[in-house]
Structure 1
Amino acid sequence: MAAPSRSDASRDSADLPRRRPRTRRGQIIAGAVALLGMVLLVWQVVGVVGHFRENFLLDVGVFRDAGRAIVEGGGLYGDDFDSRSGFAFIYPPLAAALFVPLTWFDEGLMESLWTMASLLAAWGVLAMVADRLRLRWAPLVAVPMLGFALCLEPLQTHLMYGQINVFLVLMVTADLLGYTPRWLRGAGVGLAAGIKITPAAYALVFLVSRRWGDLARSAGTFLLTVVLGWVMRPTESLFYWTEEFFNGDRGGPPEFNANQAITGLLAKAGMDGELAQTVMIPGLLVIAVLSGWAAWRLVRAGRPVTTLLLLILAVSISAPVAVTHHWTGIIVAVGLLVSLVLGVEGQSRDRLTLVAVSVLLAANLLLDNSVGTREPLYRMFEGNWLLENVQGIAGIICFVLLLVVARRSTPVAE
């Protein structure tokens, strides 16, 4: 077998050698890091379990209320929605139907099952990423990687509220990295978009890589969710898709201190919130064009995981509002960091991507397992524009660096 060429340095293709420590010293260091990851995993899980046993998970509570509204014929939006927490349901009607199983269990059991499923979903994302990055024993390696991922504030906040984002990331990752059965590939992105519209952006990969079947299945599945929702709740579907869908503030106002999207950075710098969202209309188009171009180059270079991270960042920074748990998808950067540090014998390291993911992860690192009681990063530094927005700023920096990586990448065929 021929030695891998230096031009293959960052490729994610499975036909290249599996990544592993290159020296005895590297093996010892890798073992120590894996052990640290396991310690962090146990430490974080103890905190997570303690949190859901003692606290009400706000967001999954709203999802359960929506499922109950479907079962009992209650309203889903506005004053008609019977919300125990007082928070609104902001997803399409079909999403409420998918939450009906949450009503089959008592609150405590439901919250524990949701949390455990969230942890499994995060592990699933990391396992797929590790395998696509050619890490040996990927499913096992993903376990200590989960320990490090649980030290990232977005995933911690996801677990604190009982959010849905990690499940959407799981579906998108399976589709984009090719782990969904071929006949079904694309449906994951379509279903995720039918639950929460933003995952529709990931279909851009199907477009630029000319995966027409996947693109068609993605669009078809999304349209099916709309039709099914319309059949179940025609009046509320009309309201959602003609009014609620266009409400840019449904996730909170741009100036909300948890908002790490560009709108939040602008609004917290003094710009009027509505103006910030207006500015980001052409801004969204610019980011979409840049993302499409970069995704096209990265896909041709055989770098699907880097493509996935690029789009996760593009969606997050360009959203009307992206509070920190909306950034949960950045856990894929943990896998990228591990693969870049290990490298492959005979290949040069991709230092620019290494810098990009290191900046992103460092800005989101929160070494605390007191889920629900500790202050989030943005609140720790409230009043200091630079520090309270460091997660969003790091996301923009990483996005820009990945654009440069895309520009420098070489198509596999060349």
Structure 2
Amino acid sequence: MESPTDMSLPRVLVTSCRELLTLAPRVPFGHEHSREPRRPGRVALVGGALMVLSLGLWALWTYLNRRDMWHMLDLSVYHDAVHRLRDGDRIYTENYGKWELPFIYPPISGLLFYVVLPLGFAGLKWFMASLSLLSLFAVVWASWGMLGYRRGAGRFGVSAATFAVVLWLEPVEWTLVWGQINLLLLALIVLDLALPDDRRYKGIGVGVAAGLKLTPAIFVVYLLITRRFRAAAVASGAFVGTVLVGLVAAPSASAYYWANLVSISGKVNSKLSVGTLNNQSVQGMFTRMLGDGGAATGLWLLLCLVIGALGLLAAARASLYGNELVGVVVTGGLSLFVSPISWSHHWVWVVPVFVLLTHTALTRARPLWWWLTGTFFVFFAAWPMRLNVFGDWDGAQTLQPWGLIWLAPRDGDRERHWTPIEFVLGNGYLIAGIVLTLTLVLHILRDRTALPTLPAPGAASTEAASAGEGAAETGTPESPAPDPVSGGSGRR
């Protein structure tokens, strides 16, 4: 019999589609968690200390550069816009904040900020920073849980240590600098999808996130193609609920928003070019190459169709065999690729990807995986650099958290004249994301044996009992740890 790895890619695609369409049994995402680091108490102590140290360094750097790192200009747009929430369409026809930017989110987003208006802008900045940091830890905690780590001191320790590292990723840093809601949206999605499939309220987080910002609606599609129809229905209902709340609380603004959705979403283009380096999406890359026009749009749509179809197929197949975190991060990556605009701070999906790579490096015990994880961090990290608006080193500037992509020449149409090296660097997030996603996609689709069907929850306890107490520890001989990139969720 021909093995999957010997099959051609077209045959692999046909086989994968047949598995989904014929409703092959899926591994339910359930409650079983048995992984735990050795010496969990020590891991918790060290991880907690690293987290406190990392937070202290971040707070010190932010304080010393508070003019450039504590302005939260995007948050000022939300803060100023909500004053117009009850003034009909004026919330969407005026500009706000120091940079005179439009408010382009659904009315329900404005309502959330309306509730905290009594804090004032100074208090709102502290509130948003605290909420974002809590959301970041929640994402890390849930991601480790999706890999099968049981709740307890050990999981807290690895989560705290991971938090100490991912705090310094460029998308995370600039989410905090701008006062954006990216980490909150990420937490709503990941915490929701980390719930067992039998929870009746699974889907609420995805629906609310889609109501706050439409892009997360791709996860409703993910739930549908992974045959979790109840969760998809709950997510759809939660989304409709956010729309209805907006209609009741701000009827005129809501009616205007939904009637003019396309034009409102495109208003940001009048302030910031789609082709600016900061836009790490497929459309952004083609616009930098070809300029605004039909050619860039056509190539964007074509590539999005190909990547979207392959990505969703692979995400569904990973979920089908019980590897939920891989399915989630692939879908999250697709949301960044296909969106017309994916600013660098939207790329907070690198956080669960880093968890996945770190776990793989720990369990595979191969130097290659540590090298890949380290390279991933170096490329997406926020490095203290003195750069001006053109991407040139300028000693007069303060040290700000720039990613390596910002070293490419930018602004003044300089993106149209990049060298090949500058092209790769300037599109770095997108290229790295597509390469990583395609690697996962091809591996998942071709290697069926790498995604074994996990035992049913009833059988898990029997297997665990026979394996002995040592099976609860990650990386022990009694419990060989499956590679999450190639398969196995660890929920044994």
Task: Provide the TM-score with structure 1 as the length reference.
Answer: 0.83
Q: Which residue of 2 aligns with 1:412?
A: 453
Choose 1 or 2 for highest CA Rg.
2
Within the alignment, does 1:42 sit opposite 2:42 as a pair?
A: no
Q: Which residue of 1 aligns with 2:268?
A: 250
- Equivalents in 1 of 2:29, 2:236: separation in Å? 27
- Equivalents in 1 of 2:226, 2:401: separation in Å? 43
- Equivalents in 2 of 1:402, 1:358: separation in Å? 18
Q: Which residue of 2 aligns with 1:208?
A: 225
Cα deviation code 1:315-344 (max 9, x no counterpart): 11111010101111211122212211221x
Q: Do the aligned partners of 2:162 and 2:355 also contact (CA within 8 Å) in 1? A: yes
Q: For 1:264, give the aligned amino acid.
A: G
Q: For 1:386, give the aligned amino acid.
A: V
- Equivalents in 2 of 1:67, 1:254: separation in Å? 26
Q: Which of residues 116, 130, 147 in structure 2 aligns to 1:133?
A: 147
- Equivalents in 1 of 2:202, 2:102: separation in Å? 32
Give the 3-state SS of the residue equivalent to 1:183 in structure 2.
Answer: coil
- Equivalents in 1 of 2:147, 2:253: separation in Å? 43
Q: Do the aligned partners of 1:352 and 1:405 also contact (CA within 8 Å) in 2? A: no
Give the 3-state SS of the residue equivalent to 1:134 in structure 2.
Answer: coil
Q: Which of residues 360, 380, 395 in structure 2 aligns to 1:364?
A: 380
- Equivalents in 1 of 2:93, 2:342: separation in Å? 22
Q: Which residue of 1 aligns with 2:189?
A: 172
Cα deviation code 1:38-87 (max 9, x no counterpart): 544432233245556874211111111222223677821123x5545411
Query: Which segment is superposed worse, 175-184 or 306-315?
Result: 175-184
Q: Which residue of 2 aligns with 1:57?
A: 72
Q: Which residue of 2 aligns with 1:6?
A: none
Q: Once the 2 structures are TM-superposed, how far is the Cα of residue 282 of structure 1 from its aligned partner?
A: 3.5
Within the alignment, does 1:109 sit opposite 2:123 as a pair?
A: yes
Cα deviation code 1:205-250 (max 9, x no counterpart): 3112211111001111112222332333444334322333354463
Q: Percent identity of the aligned residues?
A: 25
After superposition, residues 370-381 of structure 1 pair within 5 angstroms as 373-381=400-408
Q: Do the aligned partners of 2:73 and 2:98 also contact (CA within 8 Å) in 1? A: no
- Equivalents in 2 of 1:50, 1:185: separation in Å? 42
Distance 1:180 1:297, change over 3 A: closer
Aligned residues, how many? 395
- Equivalents in 1 of 2:432, 2:203: separation in Å? 30
Q: Do the aligned partners of 1:94 and 1:194 also contact (CA within 8 Å) in 2? A: yes
Q: Which residue of 2 aligns with 1:310?
A: 330
Q: Which residue of 2 aligns with 1:196?
A: 213
Q: Do the aligned partners of 1:92 and 1:240 also contact (CA within 8 Å) in 2? A: yes
Distance 1:357 1:295, change over 3 A: farther
Q: For 2:423, give the aligned amino acid.
A: W
Q: Which of residues 214, 236, 242 in structure 1 aligns to 2:253?
A: 236
Q: Once the 2 structures are TM-superposed, how far is the Cα of residue 109 of structure 1 from its aligned partner?
A: 1.7
Query: Which segment is superposed worse, 264-273 or 320-329?
Result: 264-273
- Equivalents in 1 of 2:182, 2:171: separation in Å? 10
Q: For 2:437, give the aligned amino acid.
A: F
- Equivalents in 1 of 2:399, 2:227: separation in Å? 44
Q: Once the 2 structures are TM-superposed, how far is the Cα of residue 31 of structure 1 from its aligned partner?
A: 9.1
Task: Provide the TM-score with structure 2 as the length reference.
Answer: 0.71
After superposition, residues 8-407 of structure 1 pair within 5 angstroms as 15=32, 17-20=34-37, 39-48=53-62, 50=64, 55-70=70-85, 75-79=90-94, 83=97, 85-135=99-149, 137-178=154-195, 182-245=199-262, 247-248=265-266, 250=268, 252-272=272-292, 275-343=295-363, 360-368=376-384, 373-382=400-409, 383=418, 384-407=422-445
Q: Do the aligned partners of 1:67 and 1:101 also contact (CA within 8 Å) in 2? A: no
- Equivalents in 1 of 2:127, 2:327: separation in Å? 32
Query: Which segment is superposed worse, 219-228 or 358-367?
Result: 358-367
Distance 1:28 1:139, change over 3 A: closer
- Equivalents in 1 of 2:385, 2:407: separation in Å? 16
- Equivalents in 1 of 2:404, 2:373: separation in Å? 18
Give the 3-state SS of the residue equivalent to 1:269 in structure 2.
Answer: helix
- Equivalents in 2 of 1:274, 1:249: separation in Å? 19
Q: Do the aligned partners of 1:176 and 1:205 also contact (CA within 8 Å) in 2? A: no
Q: For 1:313, give the aligned amino acid.
A: G
Q: For 1:123, give the aligned amino acid.
A: F
- Equivalents in 2 of 1:214, 1:354: separation in Å? 36
Cα deviation code 1:116-149 (max 9, x no counterpart): 1111110010011112223462233211211110
Give the 3-state SS of the residue equivalent to 1:240 in structure 2.
Answer: helix
- Equivalents in 2 of 1:369, 1:144: separation in Å? 25
Q: For 1:196, give the aligned amino acid.
A: K
Aligned-pair Cα RMSD in Å: 3.4
Q: For 2:440, give the aligned amino acid.
A: L
Give the 3-state SS of the residue equivalent to 2:361 in structure 1.
Answer: helix
Cα deviation code 1:76-104 (max 9, x no counterpart): 1123x554541110101121112112311
